[in-house]
Structure 1
Amino acid sequence: MRKRRENVYLDNGATSFPKAPGVGEAMCQYIERVGRNVGRGSYAPAMDAAGQVLSVREKLQKLVNAPSSRNVLFTPGATWGLNLLLHGLLRPGDKVLTSPMEHNAVLRPLEQLKARGVEVELLPCTGRGELSLDGLEEKLTSNIRAVVLTHASNVSGNLFPIGTVGRLCRARGIFFLVDAAQTLGALPVDMTDMGIDGLAFPGHKGLLGPQGIGGLAVTDALAAELEPLVSGGTGSMSESLHMPPFLPDKLEPGTLNLPGIMGLGAALDYLLEQGEELRQRERKLARHLWYRLKELDGEGLRVLGSDDPYNRVGVVSVDFTHADNAEMAFRLEQEYGIQTRCGLHCAPLAHQTLGTFPQGAVRFSIGPFTTFGELDYMEGAIEALL
């Protein structure tokens, strides 16, 4: 085993690190040099800040091909966006289809809604966590209000056939909601082409921005059906006690996280500057991670998820078959400096599907700044522990 490395960070599935160059500087510059609110003042610095916020909206709109910049809303993260979608859309008597591979950001709101009379049906998945499309068209009947799916599992790393499902939903007038927490920034997402009505995403993962800022992109048809989950001041229609009926104000009450938006804007500038080259490198890293771990499959660990390295994101979880997963994750950090995520990953039904409940698994997840050498080092460390 080669010399111990310090801080080999393989937990980008939780949050990217390091952030894109310029993120911290942009946040600091706003706090120290601007500091004004937007939508509440007509003086020059406030108007300049509003222009910067609009610029970030426009960049996100182009990134996901949303209908317009006003259809892009800022949220504290993907969880908040998913709650806005689910609680804002579903009513007693509605039926929604989802999968057992979802994060608790989907499953917990749906569990609350079940208690209020919403019917939830889980679509079938294989033991590797792959969505089965058999019989899906027959399930998409007129009584289905929405389908909500992850774009990629935060446990198995499997990509879901979002485009296929979305186009089926659109042809039948069913709302299609997507959790892009593990994909946006790393993979192309096109709302129009994929038939997506509501897209929730964080700023702090694939987009390489700060924590506490994310987004929600919606079609006009979906926005018209959404009831605001939170109400308050918007700086518009202040004479009314009702939320404005237009976007983004309808779903964006209160003071925005302006430092976070500025940081996210800097991250988007970096991603745009790097272009496809950065995304190609990340996809190569994702496959390299999978190949390194698959070389050890059956030698004291089991690699979860699809066996197709081209249908995955840079997330691979393993179950140590002859050792405690938490102990192995601890030893990887203590003895080799490798930082991972162990547990149930806020996705208990996914672990039940994959056969790793209740013990959980150890998750390795790369980012664009991970190196191929770090992944080779990781494989050697695991091999030594085994």
Structure 2
Amino acid sequence: MMSYLDNATTSWPKPDVVRETLAGFLATASGAPVRTGHRLARATWEAVEQARQRLAAFLGVADPRRVVFTASGTDALNLALKGLLGPGDHVVTTALEHDAVRRPLRALEVFGVTTTRVPVGADGTVDPDDVRRALRPNTRLVVVCHASNVTGAIQPVSEIVELAHARGAFVLIDAAQTAGVIPLAIDALGADLVALSGHKWLLGPPGTGALVVGPRIDPSELVPLRDGATGTESPDDAGPRSLPERYETGTLDTIGLAALGAAVDWLARTGLASTGERARVLTERLVAGLSALPGVRLFTPAQAASRVALVSFQVEGWRPLDLARALERDFAILVGAGLHGASEACRSIGAYPCGTVRLSPGWSTSEEEIDRAIAAVATLARAPQCKD
């Protein structure tokens, strides 16, 4: 029996309703999403807007128009960074960020954007005081992940939002590892931009994501990455200036968005409190079991309230990628391994250059699968494969 423990990369399996929506959408609503078009076009538009409304309600966003659909969480981050920043702007970010933040910021250096990266503490979190000290008069944006995709440590985003706003800076939060697994009330949080990935904890298909644009951001300040047809305001060469049309140029992934809407509806009906609590219990079981094994070093916070549903570790005598291959080959357990697209985070916690093994249970993971994974790691820990 195969066990899938790589949900922090992408969730699997998807709920039945997601698969059913993907299979049935082409047969019922495969037109371009235009409100005033023929019946297939209207049905497609209604499916996209329903997904937008469901996601807004699920995430505590009062105005669904501020939910802009993107091709992925990476696409959302690129829109936020490249659309907002320009020559002379300064950005404060952290050593925990994913390459989806680090690389666009590096690309923006060519255009005169400067970056200060604050360190991560021994507990796996960023100190808001370090962020405050890094702020400058020309700081336009503070970028921070809600939770690290390497350690699972939840970051003090509320404090960071408050201090950044006090100095006149915007805040962008990467919520790829939190949206769908812990409560996320975006309007109450007050962040100006929140990037989301549809295919992780929101249980949607690949190719879906969103950027929530807060009320402090004027659409005129956030430049679209693409220009072209939107189905509205066609006579205007400049294109629409309103949300969300300004950023949804071309034909959206309507099939994927319909399925994302179905996934969010399933999460809302199932209850995030229920699914989140289950993830917490399973993660706690993993942490307890792995921490008791000789030769295993955990990089995940010990306190349940300080982490999301992933556990990162190394095993003495094993390279993480080799251990992951052995878990699949010998025990049919699929996990994540390596630098997880966040090399600076791995460097900060002392897990560079090999990275870590990462286990992340999902909505359908059983306690028996967790116990089997712990036993498999215990077996492999007794048979190291390398000396360095």
Q: Scaled by the length of structure 2, what TM-score is found?
A: 0.94
Give me the whole-angstrom Cα distance separating, in 1, the residues matched to 2:35 and 2:132. 48
Which residue identity is paired with 1:47? R
| Contact 1:170 1:195 (8 Å CA) reproduced | no
**Identical residues among aligned pairs (%):** 37
1:52 positional shift: 2.1
Structure 2 counterpart of 1:100, from 79, 92, 95: 95
TM-aligned CA distance change 1:323 to 1:139, over 3 Å: closer
The alignment status of 1:143 with 2:135, answered yes or no, reads: no
1:74 aligns to what SS in structure 2? strand
What's 1:294 paired with? 291
Give me the whole-angstrom Cα distance separating, in 2, the residues matched to 1:94 and 1:165. 19
What's 1:273 paired with? 269
2:212 aligns to what SS in structure 1? strand
What's 1:3 paired with? none
1:64 positional shift: 2.0
Give me the whole-angstrom Cα distance separating, in 2, the residues matched to 1:261 and 1:136. 36
What's 1:69 paired with? 64
What's 1:19 paired with? 14
Give me the whole-angstrom Cα distance separating, in 1, the residues matched to 2:65 and 2:101. 24
2:132 aligns to what SS in structure 1? helix
Give me the whole-angstrom Cα distance separating, in 1, the residues matched to 2:130 and 2:122. 18
Give me the whole-angstrom Cα distance separating, in 1, the residues matched to 2:188 and 2:134. 22
Give me the whole-angstrom Cα distance separating, in 1, the residues matched to 2:63 and 2:274. 27
- 1:136-194 CA-to-partner distances (Å, cap 9, x unmatched) read 33433432101011111111111111111112223333111011111101111122221
- 1:304-347 CA-to-partner distances (Å, cap 9, x unmatched) read 13232321011111122222222211111111111111111111
| Contact 1:342 1:362 (8 Å CA) reproduced | yes
| Contact 2:58 2:264 (8 Å CA) reproduced | no
Structure 2 counterpart of 1:110, from 102, 105, 113: 105
What's 2:328 paired with? 333
| Contact 2:35 2:45 (8 Å CA) reproduced | no
Give me the whole-angstrom Cα distance separating, in 2, the residues matched to 1:341 and 1:239. 49
The alignment status of 1:57 with 2:52, answered yes or no, reads: yes
**Structure 1 portions without partners, runs of 5+:** 1-5
The alignment status of 1:224 with 2:220, answered yes or no, reads: yes
Give me the whole-angstrom Cα distance separating, in 1, the residues matched to 2:92 and 2:262. 37
Which residue identity is paired with 1:282? A
What's 1:156 paired with? 151
Give me the whole-angstrom Cα distance separating, in 1, the residues matched to 2:301 and 2:28. 49
| Contact 1:37 1:46 (8 Å CA) reproduced | yes
1:90 positional shift: 0.6
Which residue identity is paired with 1:198? L
What's 2:166 paired with? 171
Give me the whole-angstrom Cα distance separating, in 2, the residues matched to 1:318 and 1:138. 32
- 1:222-267 CA-to-partner distances (Å, cap 9, x unmatched) read 2331011111110111112212111111111000101001111111
- 1:34-58 CA-to-partner distances (Å, cap 9, x unmatched) read 2111127522232222122211111
Structure 2 counterpart of 1:42, from 19, 37, 40: 37
**Structure 2 portions without partners, runs of 5+:** 382-388
Which residue identity is paired with 1:365? S
TM-aligned CA distance change 1:42 to 1:336, over 3 Å: same
| Contact 1:130 1:305 (8 Å CA) reproduced | no
What's 2:384 paired with? none
TM-aligned CA distance change 1:352 to 1:127, over 3 Å: farther
Give me the whole-angstrom Cα distance separating, in 2, the residues matched to 1:215 and 1:241. 26
What's 2:85 paired with? 90
1:57 aligns to what SS in structure 2? helix
Deviates more, 1:320-329 or 1:196-205: 320-329
1:221 aligns to what SS in structure 2? coil
The alignment status of 1:10 with 2:5, answered yes or no, reads: yes
Structure 1 counterpart of 2:347, from 348, 352, 363: 352
The alignment status of 1:305 with 2:300, answered yes or no, reads: yes
Q: Scaled by the length of structure 1, what TM-score is found?
A: 0.94
Which residue identity is paired with 1:289? L
Deviates more, 1:355-364 or 1:80-89: 355-364
TM-aligned CA distance change 1:170 to 1:67, over 3 Å: farther
